[in-house]
Amino acid sequence: IPLTSYLSDTDTNFNSMPPASPAPTRAKAAIVALVRNSDLKGMRSTVRQIEDRFNHKFNYPYIFLNDQPFTDEFKHGISFVTNSEVRYGTLNASDWNLPDHMDPAKVELALEKNKHRYIYGGSLSYRFMCRFQSGLFFDHPLLQDLEYYWRIEPDVDYYCDIDYDPFLFMKENGYRYGFTIAPLEWKKTVETLWPTTLRWIQQNPHHLPDKSMIDWVVDNNGDYNMCHFWSNFEIVDLSLYRSEAYRSYFDYLDKSGGFFYERWGDAPVHSIAASMFLSRDEIHWFEDIGYNHPGNMHCPRPQELNLRCICDSTKSYTYRSHCQRRFAEVKDISKFDALQKVHA
C-alpha cells in the first residue's frame, strides 16, 4: 500500500487498513485525545495498550485533535499501532485563543504571578488546553455524532484486559460518567472556582436536578473539598456536557476569567458539574480498569479483577484515596438540601 493512501490533506484521515464495518451493537462512541505532534511516542504507547487490552476486539475509532495540523509523521506513526479508523482534526483558532472578554495584559500578569506557585502556573497553552477540554471539545465537528467518548492521553498505561464494551456497559446501566482515579486538586489552581460556582447556582437554581451527588465535592463548611475525577481518563455520556445546564455553567465560568487568571483544570470543572448534575447511580468507578497516568496509579485489588491485570494492587493509590473513600460512601441529597448546603 503506498504511503499516500493513508496520508491525506483533508481534516479527516483514514488508516491504511480498511475500517472494520461497525457492528450493529456498537455504541456511537470513539476514543479521543487532544495531543501534540511531539507526543507521538507517548501516544503510540497508549494506543498500542488500548488496542491490546480492549480495542482489537471492538475497533472503536480514534479521534485525535490538535491546535496545530497533524504531521504526516504523526499519522504514519499511529497507523502502525491500530487497525481501527483514525480521524484527525485541527481546532478552530477561536478554540485556542483568549476569548474577547479577557484582558491580555491581566492574563500576562497572572501567568507571571503564578509561574512558580504551581505546575503549569506560567503556561498559556496549558490554560487553552484546560479550557478546551472543559467546555469546547464536545462541539468539535469530528465528535458531532458521538454519544460517548473515552478520553486518552499520551504516556498512560492500561494494565488489564477489558473483555466487554465499556460504552455499552455505560448505556445499559444508565451511567453517564465513568472514572478510574479520584485525587485531590491543588488548591492554589482553583482559588475562586467554588465561589464562582456558587454564584452560578444562585442565579440558576432551575438548572439543578431534584437530587444529586453534590455532597461528594462539598466539605462540612460548604467549601469545595478539592475532590475530582482525574479526567485524563474519563468515559462520558456527552449529553452531560452538551446539556443546557452544563453549557450555562461553563459559559459562566469562562466569563469569570478563572481559566486564565487562575489555572482551573478541566478535571475539577467536569467533576463539580457531574456531582452537581448527576445522581450517585449515574456515576461509575471502573475498578476493573487498571490505569496509570504519571502521578497516580489504579490497580484492582479484588483477586477476580486483578488476575486480568499486570499490576501490583498494593501500590494502587485508589484504595488510599480520601476522595475515593468518600465516593464509596456518598449519598444523593435533594435539591432543597443542596441549595441550603451552598447557602444559595
List of residues contacting Mn ion (CB under 5 A): 153, 232
Q: Sign of torsion, CA 14 20 149 247? A: positive
State the cell numbers at 296.
497516580
Nearest to 327 by CA among 174, 228, 216, 220: 216
Closer by beta carbon to ligand GDP, 150 or else 277: 150
Three-state secondary-structure class, residue 53: helix
Find the part of the chain contacting ligand GDP (CB under 6 A) among 4-12, 35-43, 74-82, 162-170: 35-43
Question: What residue spans of 91-211 are helical by DSSP H?
Answer: 104-114, 124-135, 166-173, 193-203
136 near ligand GDP (CB under 6 A): no
Nearer to Mn ion by Cβ, of 39 and 51: the residue is: 39
Site membership for ligand GDP, residue 47 (CB under 6 A): no
For the bound state, the minimum distance from the C-beta of residue 222 to ligand GDP, rounded and expressed in Å, comes to 28
Residue 335 binding result from Mn ion, ligand GDP, none, given CB thresholds of 5 to 8 Å by partner type: none
Active site residue 234: yes
User: Is residue 63 at the binding interface for ligand GDP, with CB under 6 A as the rule?
Assistant: no
Q: Is 46 in the site for ligand GDP (CB under 6 A)?
A: no
Q: Considering CB distances under 5 to 8 angstroms, the limit depending on partner class, which of ligand GDP, Mn ion, none binds residue 125?
A: ligand GDP
- Tell me whether residue 13 or residue 318 sits nearer to Mn ion (CB atom): 318
**Long-range contacts for 114-121 (Cβ within 8 Å, ≥24 apart)?**
114/188, 114/262, 114/263, 117/188, 118/186, 118/188, 118/189, 118/263, 119/186, 120/263, 121/189, 121/263
Least Å from the CB of residue 118 to Mn ion = 15
Q: Which C-beta is closer to ligand GDP: that of 84 or that of 231?
A: 231
Q: Among ligand GDP, Mn ion, none, what does residue 39 contact (CB within 5–8 Å per kind)? A: ligand GDP
Closer residue to ligand GDP, CB minimum distance, 36 or 280: 36
User: Please, which residue, 155 or 337, has the CB nearer to ligand GDP?
Assistant: 155
> Do the Cβ atoms of 25 and 168 come closer than 8 Å?
yes
18/179 Cα distance (integer angstroms): 31
| Grid cell 437554581 in the structure block, residue | 205
- Asked whether position 147 contacts ligand GDP by CB under 6 A, the answer is no
Q: Please report whether residue 125 would count as binding ligand GDP according to CB under 6 A.
A: yes
Give min distance, CB of 265 to ligand GDP, in A: 7
| Grid coordinates belonging to 197 | 460556582
Beta strand extents in the chain (DSSP E only): 29-34, 62-66, 86-90, 148-151, 157-158, 177-179, 211-212, 234-237, 283-285, 291-293, 296-298, 333-334
Binding mask 67-86 for ligand GDP (x = CB under 6 A): x-------------------
Residue in 234, 244, 262, 287 annotated catalytic: 234
Residue 328: Cβ within 10 Å count: 8
**Residue nearest Mn ion by beta-carbon distance:** 153
Cell of 103: 484582558
Q: Give Cα separations from 303 to 300, 306, 309, 321 (angstroms).
A: 8, 5, 10, 20
Q: In angstroms, rounded to a whole number, what is the distance separating the alpha carbons of residues 85 and 32?
A: 12
Chosen residue from 35, 110, 142, 217 binding ligand GDP by CB under 6 A: 35
- Residues 154-193, one symbol each (x = binds ligand GDP by CB under 6 A, - = not), give x---------------------------------------
Q: What are phi and psi of 235, to 5 degrees?
A: -115, 120
Cell of 50: 488500548
Taking the least distance from each CB to ligand GDP, the nearer of 13 and 212 is: 13
| Using rule CB under 6 A, residue 33 touches ligand GDP | yes
Q: Which residues are known catalytic residues?
A: 234
Contact positions toward ligand GDP, by CB under 6 A?
Answer: 33-36, 39, 66-67, 125-126, 129, 153-154, 232
